[in-house]
């Protein structure tokens, strides 16, 4: 019998009515579970989080919240093997891809457990020093940040059911807000299991954790000005949610992590066969195929000096040939299927659109020569490398995100100005990588690209062996990007807490303010 996934709201498990939405194993096309939110009272669920979970978490010190995050990390780690297996079944992930999501989530919780725990016994943040406001040294200004007394609504994309949940949860809970998580329905089986583990382990006070498994229904119609919405997903859904009257009319804070046409630029100083050339090959190959290319940070546009394009085409094709596509449960397989039927259709349509402006160097639309009866109904797409010889006029390459194992190689004239102008055509990226030992080139790229990028990854020979590639999002660095990438910002160590807190200026008598701030932690 098919598993029926439940939501966890108002301190209890809720089973939705009706047939629900089927969740499919993307390797085999077989149904593994169903999810429904029909009959779920979103208004009451949010009220419960605010009125029960909110006071409980605000009463905890930062040290307590850090300990809670550490317990969450440990509870998930204790079930790591089970979660890895479920990630393969429910998301088509190879073991390596599953680890990227699950270990990444656990590590992010642990990292925030330490950062938040170090803030000690305070319950709010004292932001900066005392500022003298008049002739009297007693009349001063201060800034404080207190957690918002609402609920943090986290709407996540399908590609990272654990990391996506954990990276938002760690920051919101650290700041002192209860959370309501809404994973993407298609891969929600994994988040649902993680939530069950956390509830069984009793890691958080009642009302602090809740989860809506299935369609969001009217969830966002019940937000209040003290709630926040952190969204990860497509630009189209983000635009729709952002413009909802309940959000606009109450100035509800919304953070958006959307899609992005991330870029990589090979510097003019990098010779074939050099350390940086090989790093570029390895990191592009990994980005195109890890999680079957379904990574918001994956490099989609590759800019290479014109005189190196032919060599790069051949070396990258060879690199991709070495990465086997197939059954993600089999050891040695590096490329699994994309996660859903609609994702598969969209990937194929996207490649076809790009092919109108590009030549295909490697791969083809569809599953290629993958013959395995068990996988006949799986959503497999061969890695596809394209080349656009005139990147200036190939607008589609700069605008169409193909969320699969696809990238486009493009020539530039070797000048930083030209490369950065081409990168900027993407309208704002989560991450852009520059592979070069030329400090002048790298500096010019930095000056041109900061306003267009959430993160700039500079790969040079001296740090090549430490590179984790641009695809890895770190808890200590900000994640998000301007424009096309959603205009949001998450993580970044303690910086991330501010989204979940109100920063308020206080004016008054210095000793009186000092008394009020006794329960705060100075940052």
Q: Which stretch binds ligand NAP (CB under 6 A): 121-129, 200-208, 233-241, 388-396?
A: 233-241
Provide, rounded to whole angstroms, the least separation between the CB of residue 69 and ligand NAP.
Answer: 20
Q: Cα–Cα distance between 478 and 489 in angstroms, integer?
A: 6
Q: Which stretch binds ligand NAP (CB under 6 A): 74-82, 251-259, 275-283, 355-363?
A: 251-259
Q: Which of 89, 167, 257, 401 is catalytic?
A: 257
Distance, C-alpha 83 to centroid of its chain = 19
State how far the alpha carbon of 24 is from the alpha carbons of 3, 375, 383, 518, in Å: 12, 13, 22, 53
Given a contact cutoff of 8 angstroms between Cβ atoms, the answer to whether 185 and 21 are in contact is: yes
**Cα dihedral: 275, 279, 281, 282 (round 10):** 130
Position among 57, 264, 296, 320 found at the interface with ligand NAP (CB under 6 A): 296
Q: Which of 42, 296, 319, 490 is catalytic?
A: 296
Q: Which of residues 25-84 bind ligand NAP (CB under 6 A)?
A: none
Q: Cα–Cα distance between 60 and 68 in angstroms, integer?
A: 10
Position among 198, 316, 430, 449 found at the interface with ligand NAP (CB under 6 A): 430
Q: Cα–Cα distance between 1 and 280 in angstroms, integer?
A: 47
Q: Any contact of residue 259 with ligand NAP (CB under 6 A)?
A: yes
Provide, rounded to whole angstroms, the least separation between the CB of residue 225 and ligand NAP.
Answer: 18
Q: Cα–Cα distance between 389 and 408 in angstroms, integer?
A: 10
Whether the CA torsion 59, 62, 68, 69 is positive or negative: it is positive
Taking alpha carbons only, the member of 209, 103, 150 closest to residue 95 is 103
Whether the CA torsion 406, 411, 416, 419 is positive or negative: it is negative
**CA distance from start to end of the chain:** 53
Provide, rounded to whole angstroms, the least separation between the CB of residue 251 and ligand NAP.
Answer: 19
Taking alpha carbons only, the member of 164, 147, 252 closest to residue 498 is 147
Q: Which stretch binds ligand NAP (CB under 6 A): 142-150, 216-224, 378-386, 458-466?
A: 216-224
Given a contact cutoff of 8 angstroms between Cβ atoms, the answer to whether 190 and 161 are in contact is: yes
Question: Residue 236 or 512: which CB sits closer to ligand NAP?
Answer: 236
Q: Which stretch binds ligand NAP (CB under 6 A): 95-103, 215-223, 301-309, 506-514?
A: 215-223
DSSP-derived secondary structure letter, 481: -
Q: Any contact of residue 216 with ligand NAP (CB under 6 A)?
A: yes
Q: Any contact of residue 258 with ligand NAP (CB under 6 A)?
A: yes
Q: Any contact of residue 287 with ligand NAP (CB under 6 A)?
A: no
Provide, rounded to whole angstroms, the least separation between the CB of residue 467 and ligand NAP.
Answer: 20
Question: Residue 237 or 472: which CB sits closer to ligand NAP?
Answer: 237
Binding-residue pattern over the window 451 to 490 for ligand NAP, x denoting contact by CB under 6 A = -----------------------------------x----
Q: Any contact of residue 184 with ligand NAP (CB under 6 A)?
A: yes
353 is catalytic: no
257 is catalytic: yes
- Total residues at interface with ligand NAP (CB under 6 A): 26
Residue with the two structure tokens 């800019």: 303
Position among 401, 455, 467, 499 found at the interface with ligand NAP (CB under 6 A): 401
Q: Any contact of residue 237 with ligand NAP (CB under 6 A)?
A: yes
Taking alpha carbons only, the member of 5, 68, 34, 21 closest to residue 212 is 5
Q: Across-strand partners of 433?
A: 264, 457
Question: Residue 27 or 159: which CB sits closer to ligand NAP?
Answer: 159
Q: Which stretch binds ligand NAP (CB under 6 A): 23-31, 152-160, 195-203, 277-285?
A: 152-160
Taking alpha carbons only, the member of 63, 64, 115, 169 closest to residue 477 is 115
> What's the longest Cα–Cα distance across the chain?
83
Position among 90, 159, 289, 429 found at the interface with ligand NAP (CB under 6 A): 159
Residues 6 or more apart whose Cβ sits within 8 Å of residue 371: none
Question: Residue 237 or 448: which CB sits closer to ligand NAP?
Answer: 237
Provide, rounded to whole angstroms, the least separation between the CB of residue 341 and ligand NAP.
Answer: 12
Q: Any contact of residue 155 with ligand NAP (CB under 6 A)?
A: yes
**Cα dihedral: 409, 415, 421, 426 (round 10):** 30
Q: Cα–Cα distance between 402 and 69 in angstroms, integer?
A: 35
Q: Any contact of residue 192 with ligand NAP (CB under 6 A)?
A: no
Position among 163, 379, 403, 458 found at the interface with ligand NAP (CB under 6 A): 403
Position among 130, 226, 234, 274 found at the interface with ligand NAP (CB under 6 A): 234
Start-end of H helices in 136-260: 163-175, 188-201, 235-242, 245-248
Q: Which stretch binds ligand NAP (CB under 6 A): 229-237, 265-273, 311-319, 458-466?
A: 229-237
Position among 110, 156, 191, 453 found at the interface with ligand NAP (CB under 6 A): 156
Q: Any contact of residue 151 with ligand NAP (CB under 6 A)?
A: no
Q: Cα–Cα distance between 166 and 178 in angstroms, integer?
A: 13
Q: What is the contact surface with ligand NAP in residues (CB under 6 A)?
A: 155-159, 182, 184-186, 215-216, 219-220, 232-234, 237, 241, 257-259, 296, 401, 403, 430, 486
Active site residues: 257, 296
């Amino acid at each position: 019998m098919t598993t029926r996934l439940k939501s966890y709201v108002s301190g209890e498990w809720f089973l939705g009515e009706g047939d629900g939405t089927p969740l499919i194993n993307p390797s085999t096309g077989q149904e593994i579970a169903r999810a429904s939110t029909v009959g779920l009272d979103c208004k009451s669920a949010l009220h419960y989080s605010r009125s029960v979970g909110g006071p409980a978490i605000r009463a905890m010190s930062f040290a307590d919240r850090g300990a809670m995050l550490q317990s969450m990390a440990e509870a998930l780690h204790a079930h790591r093997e089970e979660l890895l297996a479920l990630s393969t079944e429910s998301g088509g992930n190879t073991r390596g891809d599953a680890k990227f999501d699950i270990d990444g989530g656990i590590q992010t919780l642990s990292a925030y457990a330490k950062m938040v725990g170090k803030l000690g016994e305070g319950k709010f943040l004292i932001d900066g020093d005392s500022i003298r406001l008049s002739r009297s040294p007693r009349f001063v200004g201060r800034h404080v940040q207190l957690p918002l007394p609402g609920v943090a609504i986290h709407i996540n994309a399908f590609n990272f059911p654990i990391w996506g949940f954990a990276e938002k949860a760690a920051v919101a809970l650290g700041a002192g807000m209860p959370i309501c998580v809404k994973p993407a329905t298609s891969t929600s089986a994994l988040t649902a299991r993680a939530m069950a583990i956390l509830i069984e382990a009793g890691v958080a006070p009642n009302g602090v954790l809740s989860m809506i498994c299935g369609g969001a229904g009217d969830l966002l119609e019940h937000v209040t000005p003290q709630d926040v919405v952190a969204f990860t997903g497509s630009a189209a859904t983000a635009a729709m949610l952002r413009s909802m009257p309940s959000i606009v009319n109450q100035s509800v804070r919304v953070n958006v992590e959307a899609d992005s046409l991330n870029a990589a630029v090979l510097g003019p100083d990098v010779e074939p066969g050099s350390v940086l050339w090989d790093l570029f090959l390895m990191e592009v190959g990994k980005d195109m195929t890890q999680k079957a290319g379904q990574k918001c940070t994956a490099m989609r546009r590759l800019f290479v000096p014109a005189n190196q394009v032919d060599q790069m085409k051949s070396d990258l094709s060879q690199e991709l040939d070495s990465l086997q596509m197939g059954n993600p449960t089999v050891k040695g397989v590096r490329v699994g299927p994309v996660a859903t039927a609609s994702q598969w259709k969209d990937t194929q349509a996207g490649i076809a659109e790009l092919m109108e402006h590009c030549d295909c160097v490697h791969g083809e639309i569809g599953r290629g020569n993958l013959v395995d009866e068990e996988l006949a109904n799986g959503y497999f797409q061969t890695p596809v490398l394209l080349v656009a010889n005139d990147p200036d006029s190939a607008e589609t390459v700069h605008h169409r995100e193909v969320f699969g194992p696809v990238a486009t190689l493009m020539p530039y004239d070797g000048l930083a100005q030209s490369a950065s102008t081409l990168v900027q055509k993407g309208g704002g990226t989560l991450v852009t990588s520059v592979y070069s030992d030329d400090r002048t080139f790298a500096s010019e790229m930095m000056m041109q690209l900061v306003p267009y990028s959430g993160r700039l990854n500079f790969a040079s020979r001296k740090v090549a062996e430490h590179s984790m590639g641009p695809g890895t999002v770190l808890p200590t660095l900000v994640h998000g990007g301007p424009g096309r990438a959603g205009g949001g910002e998450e993580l970044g160590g303690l910086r991330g807490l501010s989204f979940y807190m109100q920063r308020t200026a206080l004016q008054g008598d210095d000793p009186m303010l000092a008394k009020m701030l006794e329960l705060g932690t100075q940052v």
